Amino acid sequence: MPVAVRNLEDGPAVFSDLDNGIQLEWQGKGDGAGEDVQYVPDALMQNIAFTKAMRNGIFALVTEDEAIEAVAQQQVSQEAKRADAASSARATLSPEVDNDLIQVNCIGPSTRGTGTCGEPLTVRAKASGDAPHLCPRHKALVSQYALAEVNGTITWVRATVAPRESQ
């Protein structure tokens, strides 16, 4: 049955028993996350170097109560780490980011014959570039618009009719 062993040193300790494929790591004595106590497999208790380290006061057996307390601390700390990771993941995926409503103007042709319609529209900032900004009256023209580079900016232009100002 594995026994719980505490690292009595101030810094982290690592013990490897390569013959038995064991590698354990302890944090320094009094670690806030309880990682200064680890369960040690039986095989390690037969390891001469390990028993020597225990005799030298580097490691000490702890009582079952102390072990339970340390494991509880480890669980609390792991839970907190998981909660941290989950909340930062949520922040990354936050739907609020870039989801502000912005006001744009309809780029459909003006009813007066020159320029654009200019009808104010409200769109999601994130989706703003996904489609040409067209008011309900001009929505039917959507297939006439394509993305093109104008003066170094990628913008929606009406493909079938050349803009009047460039003629």
The stretch among 43-51, 82-90, 128-136, 140-148 that binds Zn ion (CB under 5 A) is 128-136
Residue closer to Zn ion (CB basis): 35 or 119 = 119
Residues 36, 6 contacting (CB under 8 angstroms)? yes
Question: Quick check: 132 binds Zn ion (CB under 5 A)?
Answer: no
For Zn ion, the binding residue among 5, 8, 67, 106 (CB under 5 A) is: 106
Question: Quick check: 141 binds Zn ion (CB under 5 A)?
Answer: no
Question: Quick check: 54 binds Zn ion (CB under 5 A)?
Answer: no
Question: Quick check: 119 binds Zn ion (CB under 5 A)?
Answer: yes
Residue closer to Zn ion (CB basis): 55 or 112 = 112
For Zn ion, the binding residue among 8, 37, 70, 117 (CB under 5 A) is: 117
CA 114 to chain centre: 49
Residue closer to Zn ion (CB basis): 3 or 121 = 121
Return d(Cα 163, Cα 167) in angstroms, integer. 7
- Cα end-to-end distance, the chain, whole Å: 89
Distance of closest approach, residue 120 Cβ to Zn ion, in angstroms: 10
Judged by the rule CB under 5 A, the positions of this chain that interact with Zn ion are: 106, 108, 117, 119, 135, 138
